Chain A
């Protein structure tokens, strides 16, 4: 048998560039807020899962060992999950199986990133994620390869830049209602198109910023959840890693996202995601990613992700709101913490606690996704009120 798992507390820090808080302070703040939200103390926590991406950002090896105190993990089973950008989903998935296996009654999951210590720009570090012989010498970084992928996605599906710009406009506007957001703004499609080009077709507003921040949640089993108000249940989890050889892959459609989504939907008993999912936080480090991931999550037919934005479905008052938090484009992208922020947003939306960000369709089922690696890794969680 496996145990049912509920989320009973969430918390996060402000996402910002060059935060004055240390890595440990960010971890502590998010963890404390999540515990307070759950009405629990550290004594009730059995295990701690920490998610954080490249050690190179902090310039610290074995980064997890440095936050054990701040994470409240002293004298407890503790582990660090790190799978690139998908860490924000794999850390909660790992937290899920800690509790679902019965090994832990209550698990604290904390994701944190401090990108700004990496000089001159964090993006430079991303050169070191590439193959040292074939890719790195080209001076390649993430923006280049996503420009390639964005181009391919637009070409295959005949999508205009204006459509993708609307995603940026929506998410940055959604972030206006998020007190933790780094880049909330009201801009127009023209602003996005006319912004400085970073690597064509990616302009400055098509991409999420570098950020510092942390987000955390408390996972418990049914015996504890029954004493808590508004527990949100983890109904399904799925994750998938595709081949290292991204150059040999279909860049227009993320098959690995579909595999992860199908695993999570099967577990959650969801037959028709387009009908049953009421709110979603697909990973949106780039504007096109939100739509491409929505297709992978089977929230739109293949090649028809653009309809979600053009037909108004993805807005907060739409049928299937996407990134009501403001997403990575609006709230910020502290790698591991970004996915966790999205996870927390779905929890708040399902509880009806999202305040000004609350979507209008009274959702009971939501999905969250995070993504990373060489365009190859995705984790998906289905949550139910």
Chain B
């Protein structure tokens, strides 16, 4: 039997459209300090650090060179994964289980406001010969996916608008969220089309932010003052990113990641056994698609997310409400889940929450994502 692994400290900077007064280094330093304080440990107690970032989003090659000092990682083991921040939790989990480290800090950051060419960066993720010349706007891939998904399930643009309204409304209760708002269906559907059927408000706005979690085995966690939140399962999956080889109507990567994470956490019926879910909603349709793939609603019935028949899904406000911080995104949701499971989520608190799911997607054009199940018992 493996020793359980816990999140002993968590912190994030409030997501904001821009942090003009702080550099990414200052923002990382402040957030890591807060997480260490939260855990009640010092930086020298940390054995190993993991970051998640991508060079083109960083604006410099080998971006991990530029992080050790401000995260307390200089002259320590650091690893960097090119993926959504939730993958950082997987590294920490595996390192602790493999006994190459005891206390591991996971950091993901984004200063996306520094970038003036975000769409070109997204287009650079397409195949340079076959796909890139097609791209007027990089959201044509999610738009095609949304079209197929809506065709297969009968979801309408009005339903997508309801996802946006729900999440941005929820974000009003979240002090970490950048984009809380009260919207009407007309505002969403009449906002400018980016790539049909997606309107400007169907896509999450970018944000700056840093998220940090610190993991340790239960034996260490028990001696700390902070209430531990246990990592009950991890699972991730990759499908082909190529346009000709993907499944347009279904998030296969989320489905397979779900199979793995539920098996590890011993969950048979996720819709019944989980108390809340923080799942990727980079685009409005993705929340419904991911909820189906992760079996939070029956297949083909993504709409149930909107009718209040499910557990709370994205009580934080999701990316639509929080803001999307590339690479840090999934980790901001892990931190949210930790707040929920500690009962520290304020007016957005889910009552009696004992188990929650987090799912992060790497973003377009990828078909890769990962899931974590956290619990407080």
Contact = CB atoms under 8 A, between A and B. Distances in A.
Interface of A: 1-3, 53-56, 59-66, 68-69, 73-84, 90, 93-94, 96-98, 100-103, 125-126, 128-132, 237-245, 255-256, 259-260, 263, 267, 372-374, 376-377
Nearest to A102: B97
The 10 closest A-B pairs by CB, nearest first: A100-B98, A101-B97, A78-B238, A61-B124, A241-B78, A65-B241, A101-B94, A61-B125, A84-B62, A97-B98
Nearest to A54: B61
A130 B236 CA distance: 33
A3 B241 CA distance: 33
Given A126-B61, A239-B77, A240-B78, 14 more contacts: A53-B62, A61-B124, A62-B82, A62-B362, A65-B125, A65-B365, A66-B127, A68-B240, A68-B368, A77-B236, A82-B81, A130-B60, A238-B77, A241-B78
Interface string B333-377: 000000000000000000000000000001001111010000000
Contacts, number: 192
Contact of B94 (A103, A131, A263): A103
20 contacts: A55-B54, A62-B82, A62-B241, A62-B362, A66-B127, A66-B241, A75-B238, A75-B239, A77-B235, A77-B238, A78-B236, A79-B83, A80-B81, A97-B95, A100-B94, A242-B74, A242-B75, A243-B69, A244-B68, A267-B100
A336 B223 CA distance: 41
Nearest to A47: B236
Contacts of A94: 79, 91
A79 B128 CA distance: 22
Given A61-B125, A125-B61, A241-B77, A79 B55 contact: no
Given A82-B82, A241-B77, A56 B68 contact: no
B268 interface: no
Contacts of B366: 62, 65
B52 to A, nearest CB: 10
A78 B368 contact: yes
Contact of A83 (B56, B75, B80, B240): B80
Main SS of the interface on chain A? mixed
How extensive is the interface on chain B, given as a class? 35 or more
B75 A239 contact: no
Given A94-B91, A97-B98, A129 B122 contact: no
B121 interface: yes
B225 interface: no
Contacts of B83: 64, 79-80
B231 to A, nearest CB: 12
B182 interface: no
